[in-house]
Chain A
């Protein structure tokens, strides 16, 4: 299974929005509504931000939103704040009961 494709970097000024894409195939992203997104700060374990494409766990600000179209999922962070600067990874359930992560995107708050 190949890693899902994400842009290496994204950036925005405080208060702006940034959108990260996550491109897979019909055997993973496009075939199931089990896409999730994780935020990872340096030296820390990842934190779940979005699950099942667009659902937010309790405690995650509504500035974070997810969507999917075809084989591409997206994470949008609105109203960027300094603490949003981190690495972001998508993940998807895949055929044959596997899971696959994205390549990761470093978000910089300018």
Chain B
């Protein structure tokens, strides 16, 4: 059974960098044809793909966020991470890490709320 758990600050100041880590258990971020992904959901709004890191290490980002996003993986810790720079209030959301396979998400983290506020 694969489990994913997000961790990181729940409050970030405007213009700073949001940093989150996803710890994976029951599976490896460096094996299998999986896209290790970040997805977010602003309060009361819909879901938005942020981007992913493929098991091979290649990355792809939502074009609307591409200039501010970096996703990386630490295979020694079986974790992958999200950095989102120059945040504003519009980046306030529940952030989910997830494992994508074949175009769908079966495994989701529980989600973590990140609020951007001074």
Give residues in A with beta carbon < 8 Å to B: 1, 3, 32, 34-36, 38, 45-48, 51-52, 57, 89, 91-93, 96-104
Contacts and interface: CB of A to CB of B under 8 A. Distances in A.
Nearest to B108: A45
A101 B60 contact: no
Contact of A34 (B63, B64, B102, B110): B102
Contacts of A93: 103
A98 B103 contact: no
Contacts of B48: 3, 101
Contact residues of B: prevailing secondary structure? strand
Interface of B: 37, 39, 46-49, 52, 60, 62-64, 96, 100, 102-106, 108-111
A99 B49 contact: yes
A101 B109 contact: no
Contact of B104 (A48, A97, A104): A48
B106 A57 contact: yes
Contacts of B100: 99
